[in-house]
Amino acid sequence: MKHWLGLTLALSAVLPVASFADTNEQLSETASVEALREHREQEKRWGLAAVVRQASIPYSQGAGVDDSSVMSFVPMMFYRGDKFYINGTETGYQLYKKDEFSANAVLRMHFIDIPAIYQNSIGGDTGMGGIQLRYQWDDNVYSFAEVVTDPDAHFQANLEVGAKYEVGDWYFHPSATLINKTSDYNTHYYGFNQEHIGGGSDIKVGGKLRYHVTSNLYLLGGAYATRFDRNVRHSDTVDNNWQSEFYAGFGFFNDSSKTERSSISTKPYLRVAHGWATPSNMGDILAGETVKDEYNNQLTSVFYGHPLTDNLFGIPLDIYLTPGFVTHWQSEVQDLSAELVMAIKAYYTVNWPVKWRLGVAEGLSYVSNVTYIERTELADKGYEPSKLLNYIDLSLDVNIGDLFNQRALDNVWLGYSMHHRSAIFEQASQFGRIKGGSNYNTVYLQFDF
């Protein structure tokens, strides 16, 4: 089964984020409200989390396999703008809004809960995307109707009613969903295309929660139970009437216990980089022991940095949402391919003897074609590659204005970054249960504006 990611992306939501407004007497009332609203949305509407998901396996299993559940590590991002949002395992874009009604394009991860030993050969999880019509009944209660499909046109039509409540340090989000599935969907996902299964409707109930521990640290959790439709329950491939799933983890979000800030100091940026592939792993690269790729495979990337906050746990960290587009150039062993990235990046600035910064980003990466350096490493280990992988960026840069004592260049940074794709050591079903990936050493210029 193929991965599907349109990195307008990302990856069921554990945290909503509110909007904010204020005034500033030093400016005109209209201008100040709009300016501060923009700053506060950037400061508040973001999050980064790590969650373990455990789900029961509903399928009949072959000889020698008796797994009752499967576990996966799921990194998550959160961001909410005026129209675009990333909410854990779901992303979306608001196409239309009037009063309490909105129409949205949505894309969410679709887990396939089979024994872990089969997930690489079958291809791991996939995605469901489509159109959602949503209505907000009051400050807490909502409902939506949607039609979504996977890349092979296996459709669902879902109806959900839910509510979101915040009480002190606690946040609760119960929901109930009617999942209407076509015969093609059931045959594919429950019959594995070996048994024809008619369509039907599942019922899914449960909820998620968060608890504010301290400062920017939150604990996350959730639990759901799904009752399968009659046709699935009576199929030869499924031997359970119910499926359960549980989530537990932690995340970093804005500190809801503190007074809202009127502004943040971070500025948007544009970063242009060029890099060279290496078969060396991350540890070797950090130790300065990089081996050159014999075919000299290269990439060029452009990243935009959208400012979120300039403080985390009281530490001066510049945090950005950073989407990127990467071109992997054609060589004698690979075709031209594109890579889409969505990540959250943090910078820590040191002002001695000039300004320089350490940076780290965590996110998701999707390639149109798996690159040579990645394909060969995974083949050597006996894995089927995955187009969707975890993304890490480690960087070190220096301010050009300080370096040459030219104040006109204070907004320009010269740096090195490691462009890293990997699959979290076989712990993530969404990445196909593989171990390995690829690394590129890149140099870049970054422009603040």
**Which residues in 111-136 are b (16+ Cβ under 10 Å) and which e?**
bbbbbbebbbeebbbbbbbbebebee
Torsion of CA 269, 17, 126, 152, to 10 degrees: -90
- Rounded CA-CA distance 214/111 in Å is 32
The answer to whether residue 237 scores a pLDDT higher than 80 is yes
Nearest to 242 by CA among 195, 188, 204, 200: 204
Q: Which tens digits make up the pLDDT trace of 390-427? A: 999 999 999 999 999 999 999 999 999 999 999 888 78
The per-residue DSSP string of 129-165 comes to EEEEEEEE-SSSEEEEEEEEE-TT--EEEEEEEEE-E
Please give the pLDDT value at position 261.
64
CA dist list (Å): 48 to 83, 183, 314, 393, 413: 19, 37, 17, 15, 26
HSE, side-chain direction, 13 A CA sphere, residue 383: 24
The answer to whether residue 118 scores a pLDDT higher than 60 is yes
For 422, residues 6+ apart whose C-beta sits below 8 A from its C-beta are: 282, 389, 390, 392, 436, 437, 438
Tell which wins on pLDDT, 257 or 249.
249
- Rounded CA-CA distance 28/128 in Å is 46
The answer to whether residue 31 scores a pLDDT higher than 50 is no
The residue written with tokens 């220096």 in the block is 398
The answer to whether residue 22 scores a pLDDT higher than 90 is no
Q: Which tens digits make up the pLDDT trace of 89-115? A: 999 999 999 999 999 999 999 998 888
Please give the pLDDT value at position 163.
98
For 239, phi then psi, to 5°, come to -120, 20
250 touches 220 (CB < 8 A): yes
Q: Which amino acid is at 400?
A: I
- Rounded CA-CA distance 327/385 in Å is 19
Q: Which tens digits make up the pLDDT trace of 365-390? A: 999 999 999 999 888 888 888 899 99
Please give the pLDDT value at position 2.
43
What does the block give as tokens for 440?
Answer: 């590129």
